[in-house]
């Protein structure tokens, strides 16, 4: 790759950039008053651990594959203060970033990998889990990753359970499956609280397959057109006006009728605003 690379990600994704890892999932979990919380970052890269004993202490031995492959998934987690003007002093990371680079906006701040690595090393941001690819696949297929997370999430602070290990496990499993192209199951879509990951999982899994396998409830019907609910998601299942094809379109959860759903797909806010003479 030619030219100099600069950091263009979000806050703690700079950890992945510094180590030359690929971030596959990042999310911040904030307290009710959005002044503090925790962050979770999952990357794919080379193993960090210097010896197997240290790795086993961080990750129970019965979950390990027979060998530690060089390619691993790395799970980072830390605590934050919300980085915004009214709470700037709550987060030393934000303060030092701005002191060193001038602005916490990657579009205006040109941070090279070398500078990012120097910055990250000062915070000693090491992965709490390193999971070989083969082991991760087994954990994804068995759904047992959640068993390894609680012990590693306990930090003794008030944010020790933020995010809940079960929620974190779902996100990590889905992110790993999407990264590796491993088969998805219905639960990877329906039980995913992260909107970005759920949208990506839905695109890969397929809307038609989701409706077929998850069992859709008909919320409203107008002729051959239907408004379907699958979990917390709504879909308009509509007949094309000029061909025999039928389309399955995801619509916002506020939609209540088929007519309103069709109107929304054409850019209207309410069903009563949509009065076509003929659909084309």
Q: Give strand pairing partners of 22.
A: 44
**pLDDT on residue 114:** 92
Domain ranges across the chain: 11-205, 216-273
Distance (Å, rounded) from C-alpha 262 to C-alpha 271?
8
Distance (Å, rounded) from C-alpha 26 to C-alpha 32?
20
**pLDDT on residue 100:** 73
Q: How confident is the model at residue 119 (pLDDT cuts 50, 70, 90)?
A: confident
Q: Which residue has the higher pLDDT, 66 or 209?
A: 209
Looking at the chain, the whole-number percentage of residues with pLDDT higher than 70 is 74
Mean pLDDT of 10-39: 85
**Is residue 66 over pLDDT 50?**
no
**Is residue 58 over pLDDT 50?**
no
**pLDDT on residue 103:** 62
Beta carbons of 76 and 125 less than 8 angstroms apart: yes
DSSP 130-156: EEEHHHHHHHHHHT-HHHHHHHHH--S
Dihedral over alpha carbons 238, 242, 243, 248 (to 10 degrees): -20
Longest CA–CA span in the chain (Å) reads 72
**pLDDT on residue 203:** 94
**Is residue 244 over pLDDT 90?**
no
Distance (Å, rounded) from C-alpha 171 to C-alpha 168?
5
**pLDDT on residue 62:** 43
**pLDDT on residue 90:** 46
**Is residue 156 over pLDDT 90?**
no
Q: Give strand pairing partners of 251.
A: 234
**Is residue 168 over pLDDT 70?**
yes
Looking at the chain, the whole-number percentage of residues with pLDDT higher than 90 is 36
**Is residue 152 over pLDDT 60?**
no
**pLDDT on residue 276:** 53
Q: Which residue has the higher pLDDT, 159 or 213?
A: 213
Where helices occur in 41-85 by DSSP H, the ranges are 52-58
């Amino acid at each position: 790759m030619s030219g100099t690379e600069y950091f263009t990600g979000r806050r703690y994704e700079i950890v992945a950039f510094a180590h030359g890892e690929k971030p596959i999932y990042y999310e911040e979990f904030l307290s009710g008053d959005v002044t503090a919380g925790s962050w979770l970052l999952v990357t794919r890269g080379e193993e960090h651990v210097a010896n197997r004993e240290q790795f086993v202490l961080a990750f129970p031995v019965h979950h390990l594959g027979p060998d530690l492959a060089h390619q691993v998934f790395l799970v980072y987690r830390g605590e934050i203060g919300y980085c915004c003007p009214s709470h700037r002093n709550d987060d030393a990371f934000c303060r030092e970033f701005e002191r060193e680079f001038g602005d916490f906006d990657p579009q205006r701040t040109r941070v090279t990998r070398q500078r990012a690595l120097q910055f990250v090393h000062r915070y000693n941001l090491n992965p709490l889990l390193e999971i070989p690819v083969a082991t991760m696949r087994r954990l994804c297929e068995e759904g047992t990753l959640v068993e390894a997370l609680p012990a590693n999430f306990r930090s003794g602070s008030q944010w020790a359970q933020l995010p809940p290990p079960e929620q974190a496990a779902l996100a990590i499993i889905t992110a790993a499956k999407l990264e590796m192209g491993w088969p998805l199951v219905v639960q990877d879509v329906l039980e995913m609280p992260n909107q970005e990951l759920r949208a990506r999982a839905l695109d890969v899994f397929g809307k038609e397959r989701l409706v077929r396998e998850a069992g859709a409830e008909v919320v409203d019907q107008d002729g051959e057109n239907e408004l379907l609910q699958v979990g917390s998601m709504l879909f308009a299942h509509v007949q094309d006006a000029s061909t025999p094809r039928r389309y399955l379109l995801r619509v916002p959860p506020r939609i209540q009728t088929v007519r309103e759903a069709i109107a929304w797909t054409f850019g209207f806010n309410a069903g009563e605003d949509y009065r076509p003479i003929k659909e084309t």
